[in-house]
Amino acid sequence: MLPNATLIIEIASFLILLFIMKRLLYKPLLDFLDKRAKSIEESIKKAEEERNAANLELGKAKKYLDESKREALEFKHIAKKEADEFKQELLQEARFEAERIREYAKEDIAKEIYKARNELKKEAVGLAIGISEKLLAKNIDKATAERIAKDNVREIK
């Protein structure tokens, strides 16, 4: 064989091999690569959707947390306000009760003073009468004794 003939046979064999490879291997290889590319695209798309869903859930969770914090703060303010109001009511009631006790004590003291004065007046009248009787016993006439007794009673009042 001629060297050129060998070259022609090698080229022909190579071309036949390329044709067979293209027929048998190239198309299945391209199909496999297309399927793999589609699978990767679907995985990326699914991952993107899951990321978006996770971001949405994260946003909802943050919103819920913010709402919970706001409600807790509002509840705290309401509780503080109610506690302050209750404290003021208790202080007002305590002041009112103290004033009532003070007034009751003043009235009680005034009654006791009135009773003591009446007792002293009775005692003074009794003493004046006793003195008058003693004076009468010493020979004072009746008119003079009555005048002295009336004067003593007037002085005591």
List alpha helices for the chain, DSSP H.
3-21, 27-137, 142-156
What is d(CA 151, CA 139) in angstroms, rounded to the nearest whole number? Answer: 19
| Number of domains, the chain | 1
Residue 81 belongs to some domain of the structure: yes
pLDDT per residue as tens digits for the range 101-154: 999 999 999 999 999 988 888 887 787 777 777 766 665 666 776 777 777 777
Residue 84 belongs to some domain of the structure: yes
pLDDT per residue as tens digits for the range 61-95: 999 999 999 999 999 999 999 999 999 999 999 99
Residue 107 belongs to some domain of the structure: yes
- pLDDT bracket for residue 155 (50, 70, 90): confident
Residue 80 belongs to some domain of the structure: yes
- Chain centre to alpha carbon of residue 90: 19
pLDDT per residue as tens digits for the range 13-44: 999 998 888 888 888 888 899 999 999 999 99
Residue 118 belongs to some domain of the structure: no
Residue 130 belongs to some domain of the structure: no
Residue 143 belongs to some domain of the structure: no
Fill in the amino acid letter for 15. L
138 three-class SS: coil
Residue 69 belongs to some domain of the structure: yes
Question: Domain limits at 80?
Answer: 3-113
